[in-house]
Amino acid sequence: MNYIADNGLGLGLIAAAYHGDGLTLPYRTAVTLQLFATTKLVQDSHVTLDALRVFDLPLRIGARAGFLTSLTQNYCGEGGDVTCDEAAAATAATAAGLVDDDDDDDDAWDRFVRRYYQRRFMNPYAFVNARYAVLERGVGQPLRVEFTAGYRASYFVPGSVFIDEDGDGEPDLQPWPGSLYARAHPDGEPGLSSLVSLGVMFDSRDQEPSPTSGWWTEASVRATTPGLSSWSYAGFHATVRGFTPLSLPGVSDRDHRLVLAHRLLFDGIVGDAPVQDLARIGGSQDTYAFGGVDLGRGIRVQRFLGALKVLDQAELRWRFAEVEALGQALAFTAVGFVDSGLVADRVLQPQHVGVAAGGGGALRVAWNENFIVRCDVAVSPVEQWALQTYITIGQPF
């Protein structure tokens, strides 16, 4: 179970199997099955594999195959200056000849306005990523240098096979009629996004689940595969994450209870990319931006779509309590954070550029160090300070 402001209450099943050899941390192999759906009509089910030291080599392989579908994905336009103005949606409904019935909260006018800034789509996908370590130094000052390679295939189908609102006996495989997305992309962008990537990583973190010192830097390039992909574009990505232990003057903090965590990210796309790929960042973490649970808290998910993203996150993490009972260890951390970003419609000669920010606080609970539950609450002026709540698993970075 989780709760994310953009997706609603999520219910599902997660089954995981781990294999360890006593030497490789946190495990040697992990396989996870997720079946998941939310009250805002989002479904995301997948099988994930994470294998370390494959063939006893310094090789890590991650793979996932899944199916994502949504009837309520946000689309406010493209670029950093979009507004999601409800008045514009109401004007469009009136222009379409609809009339608001004040006694009916779900008449045709209300449905049109509610869906005006939404997309509906289906997305079966699969990806595989490989990381090969060319340097592993674990004594004194740890450092790991890895080369990365990956492939991702995403097939986009507009609409839903479960809906037939027009009554023609066929699934509605097109965007919501009259929506802003339908105006910008009348066909709904059906097709295959086939993408390869290459990169390099430098990692000196003291641990993966919740680092308290060190840094993690990566840079990569990606491009669609000619002859397979329905679109043609290339992208670049760079991220620097730093974790700095802090202490009060004259007070030793050998346990790193107070940590400043920071992430700075650059991502760009040149060429023709579908909206769903504009919403993603490159690199090792498959994350939507800008807006949402991981990048842009306080801002609705995928509100700011653009070919160029310059994003910054800062978190002050204070581990204020630890409890051990029945052989289980729990650690409690309070967090204050700010997410900010610049988004533009194009890398070269952009026309629609904007800056936005959100901030808030969080409580995070670590169970035996590796399993982390976080509850983040955030607000942003671009969302009229509406409180957004996110209850999910894992650190955002």
pLDDT at position 141: 82
Spatial distance between the Cα atoms of 362 and 356, rounded to a whole number of angstroms: 20
Query: Strands, DSSP E only, in 283-384?
Result: 308-325, 328-344, 353-367, 371-379
What global pTM score does this model have?
0.90
Nearest of 309, 312, 333, 308 to residue 321 by alpha carbon: 333
Q: What is the DSSP string of 99-138?
A: ---TT-TTSHHHHHHHHTTEEEEEEEEEEEEEEEEEEEE-
- Looking at per-residue confidence, does 349 or 2 come out higher? 349
How high is the pLDDT of residue 105?
Answer: 82
Higher pLDDT, 24 or 154: 154
Res 140 pLDDT > 80: no
User: What is the model's pLDDT at position 253?
Assistant: 67
Structural domains of the chain, ranges and CATH numbers in brackets: 2-393 (2.40.160.50)
Q: What is the DSSP letter of 160?
A: B
Instruction: Kindly tell me if the per-residue pLDDT of 251 is higher than 70.
Output: no
Q: How does pLDDT run across 11-54, given as a tens digit for each residue?
A: 999 899 999 998 888 899 999 999 999 998 899 999 999 999 99
- pLDDT value for 258: 94
Instruction: Look at residue 254 in the predicted model and tell me its pLDDT.
Output: 72
Specify burial of residue 323 (Cβ count, 10 A radius: 0-12, 13-18, 19+): exposed
Q: Taking all residues of the chain, what is their mean pLDDT, rounded to a whole number?
A: 94
The residue-averaged pLDDT of 285-310 equals 95
DSSP states of 235-303: EEEEEEEEEEEE--TT---TT--EEEEEEEEEEEEEE---HHHHTB--SSS--B-SSSSSSSTTS-TT-
- pLDDT for 329 equals 95
Which residues have a Cβ under 8 Å from the Cβ of 251 and sit 6 or more positions away? none
Contacts of 96 (CB under 8 A, 6+ apart): 112, 178
**Amino acid identity for residue 273 in this structure:** A
Question: Could you give the percent of the chain with pLDDT greater than 70?
Answer: 98
List of residues 6+ apart from 122 with CB closer than 8 A: 67, 68, 69, 156, 157, 159, 160, 161
Q: Is the pLDDT of residue 86 over 70?
A: yes
pLDDT, mean of residues 188-217 = 96
